[in-house]
Each structure stands twice: as C-alpha cells, then as structure tokens.
Amino acid sequence: MKSLIAVIFALLPSFVLAAGGNVHLDDMKVDLEDKASLQRGAQLFTNYCMGCHSTKFARYNRVARDLGIPEDLMMENLVFAETKIGNLMEIAMRPEDSKQWFGATPPDLTLVARVRGADWVYTYLRSFYADETRPYGVNNAVFKDVGMPHVLEGLQGKQVKGCAPVVIGFDPLTGQELKEDSCARTNHEGHPNEVLYLEEEGQLNAAEYDKAVADITNFLVYMGEPMALDRKEIGFWVLLFLAILFVPVYYLNREFWRGIH
C-alpha cells in the first residue's frame, strides 16, 4: 500500500504538468451574480461560437430564466436555429460534416469551464496569434496547433507572436515605465522570450476585448453549473439552520448527562 501511494505521489507532478503545461494563465474574476455580464456573454457565445460548438446539456428556456432574459427576446436574439425555447442548445452542423471540414468534431462546450477552469478559458480566448503554417492561419499560445479559426479576430484584431518591448518595472524617481525587448531574455526552454502583441486593431480596444472575453468566460462558468448560485444560497440557509439547531441540542445533551455526572 505504501509503495502504491509513493508511486502516485511520484507521478502527480507529471499529471499536473500534462494538464496545465508551462503556460501562464491570467486570472479571471468570475461573478455569477453579474446578470449583465452573463447576458452579454450569452449573446457573444451564441453569435460567435454556436455555429460550430453546441452546449447540448443546457436548454434555452433554462438559460433565459436564469439570466433574466424574456423568452421572446431570447428567441429573437440568441436562437438562430429552427428550434423551440424548451429544446436543448444543439447546433445544426452534423458531426460527420464538421469532422470533414475541421479534421475533428468541435467539442460541446457546456462543461469546458468546469473541466478546464475559468482562467484557462479566459487566457485561451486571448491567446490566438497569426501563424501562416496552420490551416486556418492562426495558432494559440495555450493550445498549441489549435485546429480552429480565431472567430473573435474581428473584435480583437490581428495578434502576432514575436519580439516586442515589455514593461520590466518603473523608474523609482519619475514613475515612468521601464521597458526592454522581450527577446533580450529567454523562456523556460532557452528560446527567445517572444510575446503576443496586436499588429492590427479590431473593433474593440484591448480593455474592451478583455471584458468581452471575460463575459464569455463568465457565461461558460454558469453553463458548467447552473445551480451554483442556488447551491450557495441553499448552503447558507442550511448552515444557519444547523447553527440555530446547535443551541437546543447542546442544552438537551447537557440535560441528558446531568444525572450521570
């Protein structure tokens, strides 16, 4: 048994490395109580992602109800297939067609944030860059050799990977940024430290695009566990009930044991 435990702990770092790689993930602040963010995320997701990716473990009417979207507005603005409000959020594209076009069937994204984590989704959507060697002209710093186009490129703009000035600190006297060429240093593999930067602007500036990606990520976190807010609320009342129940149970227990002690 001890040998088995030792083997598990020995292999654990390799499992973690395989799951996360050496890519730094940016911090994503999830806020499932921000209904406006969830609504914007739903709109962006259905407009830009649902052409290829389904969320077939969710229903349109449940999403509309949870996000405070009237069903008629949901059907008008967020449902583009010939379907009913109570149906699952599936797509019209057939798996055999998508496999032929993309080389693999695009995965369902209902649980992607729950499996990968919000930080991974947020960083992934901000890490596409131009790569002419790839079939769709883009690659991804988080998911190497990604097999899909950058569907949000119109919003973000054209991002490239290469040497660029990066902030390394601030002047203690003037407070001005101190910069150096990123390739003046090497990464963990010993290669020049190339970074991602915008070569051509999109419809949104950097801050606006980050906010849009945060909204999509927020929505996907909700999709992974629609009961999250209800679970927290139920948990609060359960803990409150147990705290109140503790008082009579304590005194009842003391009364039972009074004669014995």
Residues of the chain with pLDDT under 70: 1-22, 184, 261
Q: Are 226 and 62 in contact (CB under 8 A)?
A: yes
At 4 the pLDDT is 43
Spell out the domain ranges in the chain: 25-225
**Predicted pLDDT at 98:** 85
- Looking at residue 7, its pLDDT comes to 40
Backbone angles phi, psi at 243, to 5 degrees: -65, -40
* CATH H superfamily, domain 25-225: Cytochrome c-like domain (1.10.760.10)
Residues 6+ apart with CB under 8 A from 96: none
What CA–CA distance (Å, rounded) separates 225 from 221?
Answer: 7
What's the predicted TM-score (pTM) here?
A: 0.79
pLDDT at position 15 is 37
Residue 193 is predicted with a pLDDT of 79
Alpha helices (runs of H) in the chain, residue ranges in sequence order: 2-20, 35-48, 60-67, 71-77, 95-102, 112-116, 118-125, 153-156, 206-224, 228-258
pLDDT value for 182:
78
- pLDDT, residue 9, reads 40
Segment 114-169, tens digit of pLDDT: 999 999 999 999 999 999 999 999 999 999 999 899 999 999 999 999 888 778 78
